[in-house]
Chains A and B, each alone.
Chain A
Amino acid sequence: MATIDQLRDLGYELGIAHGGVDVEQAALDEALQGASTEALVRQAKIVTAETLNNIEQFARPGTFPPPGEARTALANEIAAAALDQLSERADAKVEFQRRARAHAQSVPTVWHVSGHGVAVYVAVDDATGNGADEDAQQLLDSLATVASAQ
């Protein structure tokens, strides 16, 4: 029974069309990185600065605190609110990517195979590299046979 890796060795070009676990794992890693304290603080600083600008523009004259203790207190209050909201979103994104990875793990990876005069899609069992079903295995076998004969 031919495997997807054998097709690569036979000169086919392979690429994942959809269903790959690696891409979802990478997205999950990125989401976890985005949920780190360092990333959240960095984003909160940007949001706080922008928000202070917004407030300064629209606050009643004389009410926006000048640089000093009161301004710092306002900035801290805004930063805390920003951190709260950013953290909530980051956690939601991590959960979303966990669901996406779980889905990818539950379905076969679909590969695009091209070369030797063909361009086809085939569903592959990640664990074995074989076709995900009988039709897919027949396709892998025929592609291997055709390339071997050339």
Chain B
Amino acid sequence: MSATVPVPSKSPGDVLTSSLWNTYVAANINKLLNQGHRVLTVSAFNALSGLEDGDEVYLEVDGTNGIQWHLRYHLSSTKWRVLGGPPMYSEIATSETTTSSSYADLSTVGPSLVAPLAGVYDIGGGAAVFGNSTGGDTYMAAKLGSASTADTETLSHGGVGGGASGDGAAGPMARTLAASDTVKAQYKAASGTATFANRRLTLGPRRIG
């Protein structure tokens, strides 16, 4: 994270000493070695030490899809503030059903994401909820790590009965996750059969550390 050391302004007449040219040596090494932005893998990010206030990195959270988060270190809180970057995204298109009255997986488990680091994340998602054959409420909610899925983590709620369609997206929620916590969607129907299609889940950083 060392910034390029600016070459001090010198005037003709400066005495040729090692203390003078050592400055040039350091500056030229910086110029040679520090090229471009610093993109870190999650493991390299965890190897950082000696951080200073305002240090910035690009953290690659998905090397396959090129998802990078731009972060700036805030020394007094020892947290990373988020400057930008897209959320991680997961989707299951297939339409599937459940009759479970407690939160459960559908035949295709998910959508599912894994938190790359400990921090506070914006978790969002939803699905096309195709009513409930007996008019009961239907829920899609996020299971956070090893915790049991709860209504407080609702992503999408269908409350329209009689086989009609209903979709009430709850909007993104801010939740604290540990590193490597899996976030996945689970589903339930108060009664009857509920159908979910185009299930989506997003995980974006709010604060890291």
Contacts and interface: CB of A to CB of B under 8 A. Distances in A.
Pair from one complex:
yes
Interface of A: 15-20, 23-24, 27, 43, 46-47, 50-51, 54-55, 58-61, 63-64, 77-78, 81-82, 85-86, 89, 96-97, 99-104, 107-108, 110, 112, 117-123, 132-133, 135-136, 138-139, 141-143, 145-146
Decide if the interface of chain B is mainly helix, strand, loop or mixed. Answer: mixed
Contact of B182 (A104, A118, A133, A143): A133
A89 B88 CA distance: 34
The 8 A-B residue pairs with the shortest CB-CB distance in the complex, in nearest-first order = A15-B64, A99-B47, A104-B43, A117-B93, A18-B42, A100-B47, A58-B10, A103-B43
Given A19-B42, A122-B112, A55 B21 contact: yes
Given A18-B116, A58-B14, A51 B94 contact: no
Contact of B12 (A54, A61, A100): A61
B140 to A, nearest CB: 15
A29 to B, nearest CB: 14
A16 to B, nearest CB: 6
A47 B43 contact: no
Contacts, number: 184
Given A18-B60, A103-B47, A138-B109, A47 B21 contact: no
Contacts of A99: 46-47, 49
Given A77-B18, A82-B29, A16 B47 contact: no
A134 B7 CA distance: 56
A61 B29 CA distance: 26
A113 B32 CA distance: 38
Given A47-B25, A54-B28, A81-B18, A15 B184 contact: no
B41 A142 contact: no
A148 B108 CA distance: 12
A58 B182 contact: no
A123 B179 CA distance: 11
A27 B44 contact: yes
Nearest to A65: B16
Contacts of B49: 96, 99
B29 to A, nearest CB: 6
B61 interface: yes
A81 B49 CA distance: 25
Interface string B88-108: 111111100000000001011
Contacts of A82: 25, 28-29
Given A85-B29, A96-B47, A103-B46, A139 B12 contact: no
Interface in B1-18: 7, 10-16, 18
A81 B22 contact: yes
B113 interface: yes
A108 to B, nearest CB: 6
A119 B91 contact: yes
Given A58-B10, A101-B43, A23 B63 contact: yes
Contacts of B92: 117-120
A104 B47 CA distance: 10
A78 B105 CA distance: 66
Given A55-B16, A120-B112, A142-B105, 7 more contacts: A18-B42, A19-B180, A51-B25, A58-B14, A77-B18, A81-B25, A121-B90
Contact of A89 (B21, B29, B62): B29
